[in-house]
Structure 1
């Protein structure tokens, strides 16, 4: 049985499964809440942005800065991509 984390988590079972798979609390909450919402389709590919591999290092760094990813100033392009995908 899933634990009651807070009123902000809409799908406790999904949240718990994602946490067990290693997702951060923030990421698990975003996905669980999106799946619980009738207006969102998290399984559907979205967005018009090109893949991170096509971004410049400066663009990746700016996005990492927006997300407040620790250690970004020491990361190369591959590390920035990995950090952004795992955020």
Structure 2
């Protein structure tokens, strides 16, 4: 069933199948529909790796995203949880 808030369903599904979160896939698909794929591709920047973050910062980010059951996780598992949320 199509989601009316997603402007480019095909791109959204491709991004989800690549492992992107629902939020990220929707944001990219909608931006591509509004501005064009090439404009969205040029806009991106780079961010540091989660491996460069401290565990405290990772837990703070998990809290910001509304994740739960992360306080007992190792750094690697916490990173995996953040990437797959």
TM-score computed with the length of structure 1 as normaliser: 0.70
**Quick one: which of 28, 33, 45 aligns to 1:31?**
28
Unaligned runs of 5+ in 2: none
- SS in structure 2 at match of 1:37: helix
Alpha-carbon distance change, 44 to 76 in structure 1, aligned in 2, over 3 angstroms: farther
Distance of 1:16 and 1:53 partners within structure 2: 28
Distance of 1:75 and 1:66 partners within structure 2: 17
1:61: Cα distance to partner? 0.3
Give the conservation status (yes or no) of the 8 Å contact 2:28–2:40. Answer: no
Partner of 1:11: 8
Please give the root-mean-square deviation of Cα atoms over the aligned residues, in Å: 2.6
Partner of 2:40: 41
Unaligned runs of 5+ in 1: none
Decide which structure has greater helix share.
2
How many residue pairs get aligned? The number is 83
